[in-house]
Structure 1
């Protein structure tokens, strides 16, 4: 099984933007970085326009996979240009320091509304860094709408099965 980012963690963020990446996430970053030369993990932190209210963090492998998806689009394509500007142009590659920390820029902290504490949320191939209060506000309505689809206490996996069935080829 490919190592993925799971769970959520809250860590202190100091006035200079230093924050510790959860140990579980550092292990996943290392496992998804074939080019590393030491025990310090690499990651890409993205804060472009398509990232709303948080920072999106990619392992070396997941960043390369996403960039490959962008690269196959023809030059001059508006979507390709958008992702070049907002994924590549509005991101920063980091090497996690020996203490497991990274320093988020002032622009990143402002974009995500980070001050005092950061919520790290595993999202399988990536993880997100949120202001804890903003995460709660941003997800409440969407979660309530999905839960409302569960008639009579139905199994939540039934929703996933229904969505996957829509993707299956006919015949």
Structure 2
């Protein structure tokens, strides 16, 4: 009996938003998902859009469901987090729509850089992705990988 395929996201893709602010998601990333799979796009504090696939959304759902309604800090944090987030599915052409707020947060005008991080993916403006590349250039990447245990 074979195990279900675990979705993973690798690679870097440069895409341009269309006139309706839709962005095509790489077909390799869509392959493990059905038409009704719901993703969550959320603004990351470091200035990009983090996209959580269904399995990560489910983990987040469980964490949110475990917090008491009387836990004001947790409820406030979840309210702010989910107010800024956008749930979506892919359209028939494999595109998603980015809200104006998410695009503004990430500094995305027309061009975007999609970067896989294995269990999820991120959407950057080209300028912000360049900064990530600069921070991780040369020996810095090796040092970071050793520090995080990869």
Matched position secondary structure for 1:129: strand
One of 3, 8, 33 as aligned partner of 1:4: 8
* TM-score, scaled relative to structure 1: 0.70
Work out the CA distance in 1 between the residues paired with 2:45 and 2:61.
16
Greater RCO (CA < 8 Å, at least 6 residues apart): 2
Matched position secondary structure for 2:134: helix
Q: Over residues 6-44 of structure 1, what are the superposed CA-to-partner deviations in whole Å (9 max), with x where a residue is unaligned?
A: 11111111243111011111124x0xxxxx5xx454311
Matched position secondary structure for 2:31: helix
Question: Per the alignment, do residues 148 and 60 of structure 1 end up closer, same or farther by CA in structure 2, a change over 3 Å counting?
Answer: closer
Q: Tell me by how many angstroms 1:84 deviates.
A: 3.3
Matched position secondary structure for 2:14: strand
- 1:95-134 equivalences in 2 (<5 Å): 95-134=89-128
Q: Which has the larger radius of gyration?
A: 1
* TM-score, scaled relative to structure 2: 0.79
Work out the CA distance in 1 between the residues paired with 2:141 and 2:28.
33
One of 14, 17, 34 as aligned partner of 1:13: 17
Structure 2 unmatched ranges of 5 or more: none
CA RMSD of aligned residues (A): 2.7
Counterpart of 2:39 in structure 1 is: 43
